[in-house]
């Protein structure tokens, strides 16, 4: 896909989608109605991908988010909690086949799942952790604020499925953000540098969930990328401060403002949500090395 340069820390950034999902318009664009009302009554759906970003760093392969597990479509007990299943069916229409696994998608890009060294998980919702069982050798990075949700009374009601997260042998590592003196990152105040070389920096962007994070990817050969998970479903909405229909609106607005401040400092910044239908095209036009 991209010409590989060895003098750069980031050799390529690519994306694939593990199936797709339908979400309600109210979920994507926000609504004045109480969320329970639109969840139960809305009949309007928007089809979105469930992206996994694949970053080839000089020291190994890094994924941002791990997609959906095809078992969710074939196994009626994948979500074991009945209330969770009911709301899953009201909130999402999932369209995923047996060939949409993480490993098969990586294979189509020319990589083996065994090559993955690190998975950065933007947050713990089921459509972002589905492939972790296919990369048992990888270190799984998550914010400690997000990990704390696992000990809340009923995380499965918020689509955080412990049985698919706390897999035997899974190498989870909780990230605590530390103060950064890089002026560029000042709006965020704290950060975590994945490799210690500035090429992949995690930033706290709570709102969709309390521990959601984003990752800034920088290489010499292309524009900086900000992978934002589910902070927004559409960059245009983030730029005009239109928050989605779920999440903590105050936290979302605060994180939106920080991302916009970063965009002011880095005008060529490319912001990529996990459910961005245009991601493949955008990355093709903004390859780090070409
Ligand atoms: Zn999602």
Ligand 1 centre and the CA of 222: distance in Å? Answer: 26
- pLDDT for 154 equals 86
Q: What does pLDDT average to over the chain? A: 88
Ligand 1 centre and the CA of 197: distance in Å? Answer: 28
Domains of the chain by residue range:
10-284
Ligand 1 centre and the CA of 172: distance in Å? Answer: 19
Predicted TM-score (pTM) of the model is 0.90
pLDDT digits (tens, 9 = 90+) for 120-146: 999 999 999 999 999 999 999 999 999
Task: Report, as ranges of residue numbers, the positions in the chain whose pLDDT lies below 70.
Answer: 1-7, 22, 24, 26, 33, 37-42, 82-91, 286-290
- pLDDT for 117 equals 98
Ligand 1 centre and the CA of 120: distance in Å? Answer: 14
User: What DSSP line would sit under the chain, residue for residue?
Assistant: -----TTSSEEEEEEEEEEEEEEEHHHHH--SS-HHHHHHH---EEEEEEEEEEEEETTEEEEE-----THHHH-TTSS--HHHHHHHHHHEEEE--TT--HHHHHHHTT--GGGEEEEE-S--SHHHHTTGGG-TTSEEEEEHHHHGGGGSS-GGGGT--HHHHS-TT-EEEEE--EE---GGGTTT-EEEESSSSSSEEEEE--SSSTT-EEEEE--TTS--EEEEETS-S-HHHHHTT---SSS-HHHHHHHHHHHHHHHHHSTT-EEEETT-TTHHHHHHHS-S--
- pLDDT for 173 equals 98
pLDDT digits (tens, 9 = 90+) for 238-262: 999 998 878 899 999 999 999 999 9
Ligand 1 centre and the CA of 229: distance in Å? Answer: 7
Ligand 1 centre and the CA of 233: distance in Å? Answer: 9
Assign domain 10-284 to its CATH architecture.
4-Layer Sandwich (3.60)
- pLDDT for 267 equals 94
Ligand 1 centre and the CA of 231: distance in Å? Answer: 9
- pLDDT for 80 equals 76
- pLDDT for 222 equals 85
């Amino acid at each position: 896909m991209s010409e590989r340069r060895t003098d750069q820390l980031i050799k390529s950034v690519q994306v694939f989608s593990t199936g797709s999902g339908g979400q309600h318009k109210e979920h994507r664009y926000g609504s004045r109605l109480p969320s329970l009302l639109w969840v139960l009554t809305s009949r309007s759906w928007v089809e979105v991908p469930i992206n996994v970003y694949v970053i080839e760093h000089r020291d190994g392969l890094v994924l941002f988010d791990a997609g959906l597990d095809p078992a969710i479509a074939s196994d009626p007990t994948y979500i074991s909690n009945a209330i969770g299943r009911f709301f899953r069916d009201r909130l999402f229409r999932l369209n995923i086949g047996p060939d949409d696994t993480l490993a098969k998608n990586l294979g189509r890009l020319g990589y083996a799942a065994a090559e993955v060294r690190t998975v950065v998980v933007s947050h713990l919702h089921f459509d972002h952790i589905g492939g972790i069982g296919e990369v048992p050798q990888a270190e799984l990075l998550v914010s400690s604020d997000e990990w704390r949700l696992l000990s809340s009374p009923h995380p499965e009601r918020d689509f955080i499925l412990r049985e698919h997260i706390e897999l035997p042998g899974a190498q989870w590592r909780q990230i605590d953000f530390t103060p950064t003196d890089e002026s560029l990152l000042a709006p965020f105040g704290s950060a975590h540098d994945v490799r210690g070389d500035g090429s992949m920096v995690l930033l706290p962007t709570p709102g969709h969930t309390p521990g959601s994070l984003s990752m800034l990817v920088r290489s010499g050969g292309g524009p900086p990328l900000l992978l934002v998970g589910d902070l927004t479903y559409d960059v245009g909405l983030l730029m005009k401060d239109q928050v989605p229909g779920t999440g903590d609106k105050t936290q979302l607005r605060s994180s939106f403002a920080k991302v916009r401040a970063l965009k002011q400092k880095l005008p060529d910044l490319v912001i990529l949500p996990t459910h961005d239908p245009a991601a493949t095209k955008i990355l093709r036009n903004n390859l780090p090395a070409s």
